[in-house]
Amino acid sequence: MECILITGGAGFIGSHSAERLLAAGQAVRVFDDFSSGRRANLPSHPQLEIVTGDIRDLAAVERSMAGCSRVLHLAAQVSVRASVEAPCDSASRNLTGFLNVLDAARRLGIGRLVYASSAAVYGQPRDLPLDEQSPVQPVSPYGLEKLINDQYAALFGSLYGLSCLGLRYFNVYGPRQDPHSPYAGVLSKFTDRLRQGQGLTVFGDGEQTRDFIYVKDVAEFNHRALFSEHSGVLNVATGHSRSLNSVITVLGSILGRAPEVTLAPRPEGDIVHSASRNDALTAALGTHDFVALEQGLRRLLEAG
């Protein structure tokens, strides 16, 4: 049976992707340094192997890839703010680490590499909705690193015929995203606070919009991407953006009471509106019934 390597497989998106692949009957090897990923995120499964290692260590990356035919590369420094505060450390994981994965994949003859790119490559978007042809203008080291990943992947495709696809995730939410990290997504923060009977803080007027995509939908597209031959980049989004105020209304209707909301100034650099088309995604990887926001928030509230 062929083995699929997931770097960062013990993390938020990685662990859901591992579950999806195991459910499809694949053997999965997780490579993770457990700096933020957790063993408890992963099931016990006879087809699951777990290897501890760091993507900055080329030999360790190569060893973990041996015997695998496809790679899902998700291991990264994922915080925009940390990339601003410590750009060298961020680049060592997101550039050198990425290059280690590409180089090992080329040398080991990996048939397919899918990796996490990000909506952050678009920076402060001017014309919405975004699509894959929209101008890229990162406003953080993190966004720049992801853009350079896309360029390196395209180069390795043309130089060595390596089959690569970058997935530009929009606002992914769902269980296992650590709400206590200062970099946690707004929905994991909100649901965590509500579970503890606390109020919510909204930065700005709450009219900012995001395309919130449930993590299991992302795992589904990761799975499909690994078995497709589409190369380049794809925006991974539902195609529908919602305002924070409308999210708060939905949370109130699920809980049967309106959350207490405090307004605070919007942080500098905060994006007001974000929206993406997903025509290219569904044309390349197939149509999909996305988990509705109401349903996803219910599941997130219940996950505890």
> Of the listed pieces 16-24, 68-76, 226-234, 266-274, which binds ligand UD2 according to CB under 6 A?
266-274
Nearest to 79 by CA among 211, 193, 184: 184
Specify whether the backbone of 91 is left (phi greater than 0), alpha (psi in -120 to 50) or beta.
alpha
Q: What are phi and psi of 31, to 5 degrees?
A: -120, 120
142 is catalytic: yes
Concatenated DSSP letters of 232-292: EEEEE--S--EEHHHHHHHHHHHHTSPPPEEEEPPPTT--SB--B--HHHHHHH----PPP
List the x/- string, 159-188, binding to ligand UD2 by CB under 6 A.
------------x-----------xxxx--
Q: Does 247 bind ligand UD2 (CB under 6 A)?
A: no
Q: Which two tokens stand for residue 20?
A: 């999806």
Please tell me whether residue 64 binds ligand UD2 under the rule CB under 6 A.
no
- Helix (H) and strand (E) counts in the chain: 11, 13
User: Do the Cβ atoms of 8 and 26 come closer than 8 Å?
Assistant: no
Q: Of 20-28, 35-43, 218-226, 267-275, which part binds ligand UD2 (CB under 6 A)?
A: 267-275
The two structure tokens encoding residue 303? 């996950």
By beta-carbon proximity to ligand UD2, the closer residue of 15 and 208 is 208
- Count, residues near ligand UD2 per rule CB under 6 A: 21
When asked if residue 234 is in the footprint of ligand UD2 (CB under 6 A), the reply is no
Q: Which of 115, 142, 169, 173 is catalytic?
A: 142
**Which residue, 101 or 194, has its beta carbon nearer to ligand UD2?**
194
Stretch that binds ligand UD2, among 103-111, 199-207, 229-237, 280-288 (CB under 6 A): 199-207
Q: Which residues bind ligand UD2 (CB under 6 A)?
A: 80, 118-120, 171, 183-186, 189, 201-203, 208, 210, 244, 266-267, 270-271, 274
